[in-house]
């Protein structure tokens, strides 16, 4: 078994506002990307970590990680695509030609700096059992599907729904094949990797997510995360 980690960090962070992509911003003294890399390095000891970054973001990447950018377990970053799905595919293709092709891969959002070692272990263990495992948390809100006319179409039962997080774990060859197939068929907008595998008809196991493993998406997510980190220091 040989694990590798892909951290997708090629987004523009449009919903978060602020100057520059959110993964390069400071969060209580360290950048979001440095926190995400550290979380995965701690949870997944020794596995190489590949960051996928925007075309013009090499300097921002180096500044966000400091001297660690050049050190193991980090591999040299590769450029991403115009969608998250495209960025993951670039990362997978790069690992496929690496000297040590992995047997299993974790795919993680740079925008999720709070993945705990316990969560990462849960995902890895389940991935080794089933070939694909993703963390999901129960929803607090009722979710409705809405039509283009702004009218409610239906209300899926909340007990059947989960809010899906990363890292998501997969057998490497099946994820790469599913991504190649989705891309060839013109899909480029799938928002997580499990959806790519589902489109290929493969089963995906859900493990317990962690409500603290939030994705920093909007400005309020940054202020809430800052507040939580400063409380944790007291």
Q: Binding segment for ligand CTP among 42-50, 61-69, 77-85, 136-144 (CB under 6 A)?
A: 77-85
Least Å distance, CB 231 to ligand CTP, is 24
Task: Count the Cβ atoms, other than its own, within 10 Å of residue 60.
Answer: 18
Position among 43, 48, 77, 80 found at the interface with ligand CTP (CB under 6 A): 80
Task: Count the Cβ atoms, other than its own, within 10 Å of residue 78.
Answer: 17
Residue 79 · residue 10 · CB < 8 Å: yes
Q: Which is nearer to ligand CTP, 21 or 136 (CB)?
A: 21
Q: Which is nearer to Mg ion, 86 or 136 (CB)?
A: 86
Interface positions, 4-23, toward Mg ion (CB under 5 A): 11
Decide which of Mg ion, ligand CTP, none touches 14; Cβ closer than 5 to 8 Å per partner kind: ligand CTP
Q: Which is nearer to ligand CTP, 62 or 128 (CB)?
A: 62
Q: Which is nearer to ligand CTP, 12 or 158 (CB)?
A: 12
Interface positions, 181-220, toward ligand CTP (CB under 6 A): 215, 217
Task: Count the Cβ atoms, other than its own, within 10 Å of residue 112.
Answer: 22
Distance CA 221, CA 154 (A): 29
Under DSSP, is residue 233 helix (H, G, I), strand (E, B) or coil? helix
Residues 34-63 vs ligand CTP: string with x where CB under 6 A? ------------------x-----------
Q: Which is nearer to ligand CTP, 14 or 160 (CB)?
A: 14
Tokens at residue 180, please?
Answer: 């190649």
The contact set with ligand CTP (CB under 6 A) reads 8-16, 21, 23, 52, 80-84, 87, 109-111, 215, 217
């Amino acid at each position: 078994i040989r694990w590798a980690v892909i951290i997708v960090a090629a987004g523009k962070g449009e919903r978060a506002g602020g100057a520059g992509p959110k993964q390069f911003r400071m969060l209580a003294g360290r950048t979001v990307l440095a926190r995400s890399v550290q979380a995965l390095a701690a949870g997944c000891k020794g596995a190489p970590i590949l960051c996928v970054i925007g075309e013009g973001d090499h300097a921002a990447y180096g500044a966000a990680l400091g001297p660690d950018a050049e050190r193991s377990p980090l591999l040299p970053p590769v450029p991403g695509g115009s969608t998250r799905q495209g960025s993951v595919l670039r990362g997978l293709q790069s690992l496929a030609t690496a000297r040590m092709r992995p047997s299993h891969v974790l795919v993680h959002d740079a925008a999720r700096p709070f993945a705990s070692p316990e969560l990462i272990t849960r995902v890895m263990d389940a991935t080794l059992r089933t070939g694909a495992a993703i963390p999901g948390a129960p929803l607090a809100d009722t979710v409705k599907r809405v039509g283009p006319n702004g009218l409610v179409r239906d209300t899926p039962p909340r007990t059947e729904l989960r809010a899906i997080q990363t890292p998501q774990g997969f057998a490497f060859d099946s994820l790469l094949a599913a991504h190649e197939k989705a891309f060839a068929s013109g899909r480029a907008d799938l928002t997580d990797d499990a959806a790519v595998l589902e489109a290929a008809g493969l089963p995906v196991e859900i493990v317990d997510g962690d409500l603290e493993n939030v994705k920093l998406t909007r400005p309020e997510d940054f202020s809430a995360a800052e507040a939580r980190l400063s409380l944790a220091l007291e």
